[in-house]
Amino acid sequence: MLKYLEALDELPKELKSPLVKVLELFKEEVAETLKRSDFERFEKATEENFNRVWKSIEELTEAQKRTEREVRTLASELKDTKRMVGGLSDTVGYTLENSAYKGLPSLLMKDLGIKVEGRLMRKYIEHPDGRYDEINIYGKAKRNGKDVWVLGEAKVRMSKKEINEFLKMVERLDRVIKGEKILIGVAHTIMPEVEKYARVKGIKIYWSYEF
């Protein structure tokens, strides 16, 4: 019995206490009905069973450790994959914007009679409270001799949610950028209902293949 109790010391507390009680009660009951020789045989068999159970516990513990290691490894790999996908998405987005900076001036002149002054760019606009808004497409232009601002959003796959977020940003920028604003949307792809929604909201949509 002593060797079992010593072995049980290695178990977690929540397992140890119940097992100790069970073994002690079991021994008392068996001792009353078995002869010494029978008890010795029983004790030996019990020890063998206990050893098998203990081995199973050790195997389960090791399996749990392996699983935990594998989960940590998988989590790390998923983080790496997320960073890679995020980086790829940024690259595609920046490539779209760069194409728009070069292609939009001639399209704006042809379609809207707007002459871009200088160049279009990505820009951080600072608010009086120190906050910033990042706008994908920004530039100063003229239409019919009047100063206007070109503000645009470039997305690989434009959605209504992104259009609404862009419009909210334009509304915030009204306090900083004074004057008429020409709103532009640039996308690799856009669903028909989203394109219609953008036009209703006063946003001129250009597809990437037009550049």
Over residues 112-170, the pLDDT tens digits come to 999 999 999 999 999 989 999 999 999 999 999 999 999 999 998 899 999 999 999 99
Which of 115, 175, 166, 109 is closest to 136 using CA atoms? 166
DSSP designation for 136: E
Over residues 51-73, the pLDDT tens digits come to 787 787 778 878 788 888 888 87
Catalogue the long-range contacts made by 168-174 (C-beta closer than 8 Å, 24 or more residues apart): 169/133, 169/135, 172/127, 172/133, 173/125, 173/133, 173/135
According to DSSP, the residues that pair with 116 across neighbouring strands are 141
Who's near 111: CB < 8 A, 6+ residues apart? Answer: 204
Of 11 and 190, the structure prediction assigns the larger pLDDT to 190
Tell me, which fold does domain 103-210 have in CATH?
A: Trna Endonuclease; Chain: A, domain 1 (3.40.1350)
Of 128 and 2, the structure prediction assigns the larger pLDDT to 128
